[in-house]
Structure 1
Amino acid sequence: MYLVLAASLQAEKLNPNVFPTDWEWTSVNDEMVTTEGKWIDDRFRFADAAHKYTTEDGACVRWRFVGTSVAVRLAGQNTSSYPGTGLPSHGKLSIYIDGELTNEVYSAQHGREVVAANNLSAGPHELKLVHSTIGDAAGLRIEGFITSSKPIGLFFISVTGELQEYMNDARFVVSQNGKIVRSTIGRNWLTGSAHLCLPSGNVYDVKI
Structure 2
Amino acid sequence: MPGRVILSQDGNVSNPEQEQAWLNQALAGNQQAFGRLVEVYQAPVFNLAYRMLGNPGEAEEAAQDAFLKALTRLQTYDRSHKFSTWLLSITSHQCIDRLRRRRFTWLSIEDNPALEWLASSSGRPDESALRREAGDEVRAQLDRLEPTYRLPLILRYWHDLSYAEIAGVMGITEAAVKSRLHRARLQMAEHLTKRPASAVTTAPRQSGVVQVL
With normalisation by structure 1, the TM-score equals: 0.27
- Could you say which structure has the higher strand fraction? 1
The structure having more radius of gyration, on CA atoms, is 2
The normalised TM-score by structure 2 is 0.27
